[in-house]
Amino acid sequence: MTAVMIGYARTSTTDQKAGLDAQLRDLQAAGCTKIFKEQLSSVANNRPELERALEFVREGDVLVVTKLDRLARSVADLVAITATLKEKGVELRILTMNLDTATPTGKLMLNLLGSIAEFERELMLERQREGIAKAKAEGKYKGRAPTARAKGDDVKRLKAEGLTADAIAEKLGIGRASVFRILRAAA
């Protein structure tokens, strides 16, 4: 029986269309017959399409991703995902690394690379925090502009027109919690 190749693609934001398109192209070229895709940060508490992919795969299948960081956000996350795959009898293939967990070497490399990736991310975040602190001290850093508050009048107007919080959030491109925060402050 030939293994069924199932792809998973993810970008951190909806602005990264080219990155998602490149992942989809590579997954199709690798022979994936079904691809799950999403555009949200890996730090999000849930990744619904990854959860669907993990539920979808069956024994003998291969879950394929282009890069390790598209799949897992930490070593603990990677361990949990690979444990789920192992329990289901599913192998993992990471294209850019030519890594395949069907081999003992692939399993070893996956654990080592996961540790290194988490270490690199921690270093990057530390440098980012240091840079922000320095910029703040020099008065150059103001943080991101609050996008939802600028739309406060629109939120109140749409609520007065009878729209639900979900509809307002979708229409204005802001979070549902922001809608409630604005409406609470206006009350």
**Residues with a known catalytic role:** 12
Closest listed residue to residue 23, CA positions, set 70, 82, 56: 70
Give the angle 80-85-89 at the CA atoms, nearest 5°.
145
Helix 48-56 and helix 75-88, axial crossing angle in degrees, nearest 10: 30
Q: Is residue 63 within 8 Å of residue 8, measured between CB atoms?
A: yes
Sign of CA dihedral 104, 107, 113, 115: negative
CA–CA gap between residue 138 and residue 6 (Å, rounded): 49
CA–CA gap between residue 183 and residue 185 (Å, rounded): 5
Distance from CA of residue 138 to its chain's centroid?
33
Sign of CA dihedral 173, 175, 180, 184: negative
Q: Is residue 155 within 8 Å of residue 172, measured between CB atoms?
A: yes
